[in-house]
Amino acid sequence: MSTYVLDNASEQAARRFASLEACYDPVTIRQLGQVGVSPGWSCLEVGGGGGSIARWLAERVGPSGRVVVTDIDARWLDFKHPNIELREHNIATDELEWGAFDLVHERLVLIHLPERERALRRMIDALSPGGWILIEDFDCSWTALEPAGEPNDAALFVKVLGAFLEVLDQAGVDLAYGRHFHSLLHRQGLVDVHVEAHIDISSGGSPGFALFRANIEQLRDRLVDLGLVTNREIDRVYELFEDPEFSCNHQPLVSGRARRPLR
């Protein structure tokens, strides 16, 4: 059994959520626009994060619609919208209403779950006939990190980020999960399947590097205790995270959307 190593209880969680929103909300909102979220829709947001997408959905569906937000740890979520319902809920183990939602969305949830196949099936079963699912997760195996900077710094950056990914892999994270979306959604019997990948290049001081830092900070002790990197190496990488002359690509965020058949 794996454990969620980037849990919401850490002090870095709020910074991670803010960075994820800055980097990837435009991607998610563009995908939701392609889906055609409309007034009156009933939407399920699995894993609320910092709540930004749930708020966007609430505005889009209006007072005649509703947004249900689920999370195993909702401490960072605080909604004022009357049409948002917040539930403490584990998508891997807890049931959902059958056929109740016009849209089900998750971002960076399934990739962490050992029970991801069961969780995905539960999400699909929660769709009404003709309803849409949008899943978004990284594919960390697709492209290599290619930093632009002094060779020694670039090599160190790759070493530290590689150590971080090694810990995630040991914890049961499927680092190549996004790669399988096209076949995965087809195998689930869905139609109108569309998959695309988004890759950013960030420089020091940007939200993308703030995301790198929040993640490394959260696992720093584990990385050092395992002998994967030293404290001195991590401190140097923190300096690179703030250096505007240093840049690097991110792994692709893969977005897969599909529709439950009407029959």
Query: How do 101-107 and 127-138 pair as beta strands?
Result: parallel
> Per-residue pLDDT averaged across 36-51, rounded?
95
Closest CA to 136 of 213, 53, 235: 53
Please tell me the distance from the alpha carbon of residue 175 to that of residue 166, in angstroms, as a whole number.
10
What confidence score (pLDDT) does residue 164 get?
A: 96
Please tell me the distance from the alpha carbon of residue 162 to that of residue 145, in angstroms, as a whole number.
9
Number of H-type helices and E-type strands within the chain: 7, 9
> What does DSSP assign to residue 252?
P
Q: Contact at 8 Å (CB) between 8 and 75? A: yes
Strand, coil or helix: what is 58?
A: helix
- The domain 13-259 is placed in CATH, from the list 3.40.50.150, 3.30.450.20, 1.10.3720.10, 3.40.50.1100, at 3.40.50.150
> Per-residue pLDDT averaged across 2-11, rounded?
68
If pLDDT is split at 50, 70 and 90, which confidence band does 2 have? very low
Q: Which two tokens stand for residue 57?
A: 């959905």
What is the share, in percent, of the chain residues with pLDDT greater than 70? 97
What confidence score (pLDDT) does residue 1 get?
A: 37
Strand, coil or helix: what is 229?
A: coil
Average pLDDT, the chain: 93
> Per-residue pLDDT averaged across 176-182, rounded?
96
If pLDDT is split at 50, 70 and 90, which confidence band does 3 have? low
171, with CB counted inside 10 A (0-12, 13-18, 19+), is middle
What confidence score (pLDDT) does residue 126 get?
A: 98
> Per-residue pLDDT averaged across 104-130, rounded?
96
- Examine the pLDDT at 47 and tell me if it is beyond 60: yes
What confidence score (pLDDT) does residue 173 get?
A: 94
Query: How do 84-88 and 191-198 pair as beta strands?
Result: unpaired
- Examine the pLDDT at 149 and tell me if it is beyond 90: no
Q: Give the domain ranges of the chain.
A: 13-259
